[in-house]
Amino acid sequence: MDTKTAIFGRRTIHAFNSNKVPEKLIFDAINAANQAPCHKLTFPWRFYSISKSKRKEILKLAIDIKSSQKSLNENSKKIIRDKFLNPSHLIISTQILNNDKLIEKEDYAACSCAIQNLAISLSSNGVSIKWSTGEIIRSKEIYSIVNIDSESEEIIGFIWVGYGKIGPKITRPLINEIYKQI
């Protein structure tokens, strides 16, 4: 698939089936992510592929967090279980921390570019992602589960990778609403 088709066809997917994405496609997508532009060549992105056993630990944490906010019935727990266990892969994306706030902001932009490259690479192969954040990525427990040092890296998202039902087409703003020539 050509790049333009991959960009225009890429959509966030919310419900994945359990079909496995080949590891070569994951590796190729990480390689594409690593080609993202970054100011001062900091290469601040890191990606961690999370095993099924670790995903089960993260699932327990997710249910605990949600249960502390509201009562969960069995159907709600099943939805959370499916979210964590159905996708082919869960990749955690982190950003290397920097004490300089300007560089940290530029590095976050670079990490976002890397994730977009990853998404486009996968989209070009018919694979979808969902980049999600939320309270779980800010919990101290997640760093312990996945053995990431929160003093040197910040989790910026879970990237769910897999196959499933793609949602409806999105109506985007018209180009003349977002682009001006001055």
- 20-59 tens-digit pLDDT: 999 999 999 999 999 999 989 999 999 999 999 999 999 9
| pLDDT score for 170 | 84
pTM of the model: 0.92
Render pLDDT for 66-88 as a digit per residue (tens, 0 to 9). Answer: 888 888 889 889 989 999 999 99
Strand order in the sheet with 45-50: 45-50, 89-96, 153-162, 128-132
Looking at per-residue pLDDT, the higher value among 122 and 8 belongs to: 122
CATH class in words for 14-165: alpha beta
Q: How many CB atoms lie within 10 A of CB 148?
A: 17
The pLDDT of residue 1 is above 80 = no
| pLDDT score for 3 | 83
Domain ranges of the chain: 14-165
For the record, the structure tokens of 29 come out as: 């997508």
| pLDDT score for 14 | 86
Render pLDDT for 98-125 as a digit per residue (tens, 0 to 9). Answer: 999 999 999 999 999 999 999 999 999 9
Kindly list the distances between the CA atom of residue 123 and the CA atoms of 35, 96, 101, 169, 182, in Å, as whole numbers in the listed order.
16, 26, 33, 15, 34
